[in-house]
Structure 1
Amino acid sequence: MRAFAVTVLTLAALAVLAGLLWSHLSPRAPYQVTAEGPVLADPSTQALISADGWYAVITGGLGLACGALAWFLGRRHQLAVLLGLGAGGVLAAFLTLWVGSTFTLGVVVVEAAATPGVKIVPGSLTLTATGVIVAWPLVAVAFFGLMEGMHGYRESPLRKPYGLG
């Protein structure tokens, strides 16, 4: 139980840093303030896609690092660590999303409006491609399984059938 809890809490702590890094690196989409509320000022902006991409790169990279580190350090409690990677990865993905969208770090650039009197403001950081939220747990568990499969194959007596060397 301790290996599971340590894995989940470690991933949650890393998620706070990942959320701050995502907030720092991702651009904000410009929104035009209207009477009905904020409207996307430039429908052809790449800022929304860029935010999704940075989220996937950061969480996928951390998932890869966590999966490798968990395999090397958690050899005695493999099942607990693997379950911790899955549960902690899901928690870390949502925590990264919450921290990154709550806190604004870095430079926020707002473009000037083409029409005088129109107010342009930076939008909040969100995910438009919600499928990238599974990057952290998926990559962590998959890499852990890959490492375990390679190690199991290398140590297997079935690797050299019939006693041939």
Structure 2
Amino acid sequence: MTREVRAFAVTVLVLATLGIGAGLLWSAVSPRAPYQVTERGLVLADLSTQALIAADGWYAVITGGLGLLCGAAGWLAGRRWMLGVLAGLCVGGSAGAALTYWIGSTFTVGAATVEAAAVPGVKIVPGALALTANGVAVAWPLLAVGLFGLLEGMHGYRESSLRQPYGEGPLGGPLSGPLAGPSGGPLGGGDGSVRG
């Protein structure tokens, strides 16, 4: 049990640490929406700007890619402590996604430039990063847990007895044991019924 807890803690810590780097990367590559400085505060200067959608898209690409990477790495490295790693992917992915958002929206990496129509006497400033499509915030944990489950399901099926053709044993030879007939095949007729 302590190994499962340790695997959970290490997984959460690694994914949360990745969230810091992901937030800095999101801040570096995402464009900023142009805001106009007025007496009432900041107002979006260009209502047709694509910067808000681009910020959502970059967030989804970065966190979704990390989710797939973490899911595959977690399955390969932690198959002996699957429950702890799986729970760690869920909690750590959520923590990493939250840290990505907080770091990216708080710190500006590089020069934040905006494009807007130049109007004399109007000051245009870059806005902070934000998510307008909140659903992308679950991309990291969802893809990490989903890929982990898919890989485990494929591996479990490959080793399952359900893959063996009807009437063959696990090694591909004829079935042996109480259900085998005199010739090695299953007891019964062609209708599948077992005869005594």
Task: Give the TM-score of the pair, scaled to structure 1.
Answer: 0.96
Q: C-alpha distance in 2, partners of 1:64/1:110? A: 32
Q: How does 1:129-144 map to 2 (within 5 A)?
A: 129-144=133-148
* 1:109, distance to aligned residue in structure 2 (A): 1.3
Corresponding pairs, count? 165
* 1:111, distance to aligned residue in structure 2 (A): 3.6
| 3-state SS in 2 of match to 1:77 | helix
Q: C-alpha distance in 2, partners of 1:114/1:13? A: 41
Identify unmatched segments of 5+ residues in structure 1: none
Do the aligned residues in 2 keep the contact of 1:113 with 1:119 (CA within 8 Å)?
A: no
2:194 corresponds to:
none
* 1:62, distance to aligned residue in structure 2 (A): 0.2
1:87 corresponds to:
91
| 3-state SS in 2 of match to 1:118 | coil
Task: Give the TM-score of the pair, scaled to structure 2.
Answer: 0.82
Q: Which has the higher contact order (CA 8 A, sep 6+)?
A: 1
* 1:116, distance to aligned residue in structure 2 (A): 1.1
Q: How does 1:74-153 map to 2 (within 5 A)?
A: 74-111=78-115, 113-153=117-157
1:46 corresponds to:
50
Q: C-alpha distance in 2, partners of 1:77/1:91? A: 21
Do the aligned residues in 1 keep the contact of 2:59 with 2:136 (CA within 8 Å)?
A: yes
1:162 is aligned to 2:161: no
Do the aligned residues in 2 keep the contact of 1:52 with 1:129 (CA within 8 Å)?
A: yes
1:20 corresponds to:
24
**Identical counterparts, % of pairs:** 72
Larger radius of gyration: 2
2:184 corresponds to:
none
| 3-state SS in 2 of match to 1:8 | helix
Counterpart AA for 1:78: M
Q: Which of 10, 13, 22 matches 2:14? A: 10
Do the aligned residues in 2 keep the contact of 1:25 with 1:106 (CA within 8 Å)?
A: no
Q: C-alpha distance in 2, partners of 1:145/1:113? A: 49
Q: C-alpha distance in 2, partners of 1:47/1:25? A: 11
